[in-house]
Structure 1
């Protein structure tokens, strides 16, 4: 099965999940996580209709964004201070901000790039030590901290769920959605309107994320890997 068939199948299943949840499928953006593939695979993905791509390494992001500048590039990896200018230069949305020390550097890089950098706050809802991110109780302070930087615009929240347990994943996603609602009511006017993104769900658990309110799902293996079982449910 090629990318076109896998992509069409994901979109059809996304529409069905949204219908079951009473949502409009246009509310959910599929980011094709292209971190393991090269330019040829990305070209085929673009031909199939994909236009949002996710990368987790600055070098790969720079290379692919230069090759395909008309596409929308998301940075989904760990932020390294020294690479922030490169990340800002190429990224429409940075999904993984959770350290205060990075906010001023994102601001400076955005000023140099002549843009406002959209970001998501990464929240470790599951509490797993292996995952980065803010503790949920620290998210309000981080959101308030970011408000002082006019070239850093917080668009919402991101999380990663525990692997291998769909019930735990659903609980994690529902927790992020509740936190998002709690934070949004504290914002005024334009900031509240712009705080409208929930990036959650990957190849194994994006269906649970959509049911819980995801506006962005990050799908890699289910789109690019021939060996991936599209829906390995018991």
Structure 2
């Protein structure tokens, strides 16, 4: 009887361990540039369905490393196409679930009104000591910034002024706090409801960097959680897409 009881207890433990984090909750890894819209979408999702989300924000590269190291994420909203594709190849994500939820835009931004002109000519002047950007190896927006500077012939001249953040969120903080006079950030960080929220900005022409197509994917840990499928479905609704567009993304 003791052996049988022990085996039953072990079976219950194993079953519990393999269940989703909790019924009606989704663990979501979100690229830092999508912080503001995702907070709104998550709140709308909860109101519409009763399901809850646990959001974790960071650079795409950081979140990828956490997923590989066993972080309990069930859905990944990346800032690129390549990282979700890599997770699928590694058997960590479901291929049929992958889709582009937004296409982002790169901007040069200053917290100071009038400091950045609408053609980016400020980059050719010596009026600033620090230029913030996200680490290009971790964040697609950082890679886009490097590509832009290379194409306009200013990469070598401006690289000594770089202040690199681990994510686009940190690059934004450098500029917003005045630790850098200007920086490359995501349009969604400085734009809401169809207008610039603060400072001055140059919207970088899209021909200066590869399109920033941001893909979402269900991770294998979330394949049996009904709330995961509900969230993916909600991201494709007009309600969610209107929020995404309001932050300057295209679909």
Find the structure with the greater CA-based Rg: 2
In terms of fraction of residues, the more strand-rich structure is 2
TM-score, normalised via structure 1 length: 0.26
